[in-house]
Amino acid sequence: MARPEKIEQVALLAGKLRNAKVAVLADYRGLTVAQLQELRTKLRGQAVEFRVVKNTIARRAAVDAGHADWQESLKGPLAIAFGYDDISSPSRLLGEWSRATRLKLEIMGGLVEGRVMGPDQVRQIADLPSREVLIAQLLGTLQSPIAQLVGTIQAPVQQLVGLLEAYKNKLEAA
């Protein structure tokens, strides 16, 4: 029979998996407690939660959260970075921290909006710009043809106004 503490941990982790937009698995072997605390502090400032979890608890939580296919990724000592806002921020921040500190923190996979992804796919998501930047790029792309159309429509009218202005100046001079 499972102990009440473990049942509570599974329920807590399952809730985090349900609420998070992204959960990134990272191999934290070789990091000291102080380094893990520094990483947690950096991630917390960007609305990312970093938790070291036992695999058996994580597997049970994955099943409870409806992600049974994610169980295969939960092998070895792992930590999970939960992102609740931007899907690229956990993997991007983990990569930045690893490069800045020159410490090995390997991304082992992830769960992005309910889809299981491998390490390469999670790293590709890290290279995506933030949501706000993507929206600005989309709006710029959508606005460009409209601005060109408005310019094309206004050109004959402006030419006509210029022609009438020149004719008016000619009549006043005569």
The domain ranges of the chain are 4-128, 130-174
Are 61 and 94 in contact, with CB atoms under 8 Å apart?
A: no
CATH for 4-128 is: 3.30.70.1730
pLDDT digits (tens, 9 = 90+) for 44-98: 888 888 888 888 888 888 888 887 777 777 888 888 888 888 788 888 888 888 8
Could you give the percent of the chain with pLDDT greater than 90? Answer: 0
Provide the pLDDT for residue 2.
Answer: 66
Q: How far is CA 141 from CA 7, 31, 50, 129, 148, in A?
A: 50, 44, 36, 16, 12
100 in Cβ contact with 144 (< 8 Å): no
User: Considering the entire predicted model, what is its pTM?
Assistant: 0.67
Strand, helix or coil at 102? coil
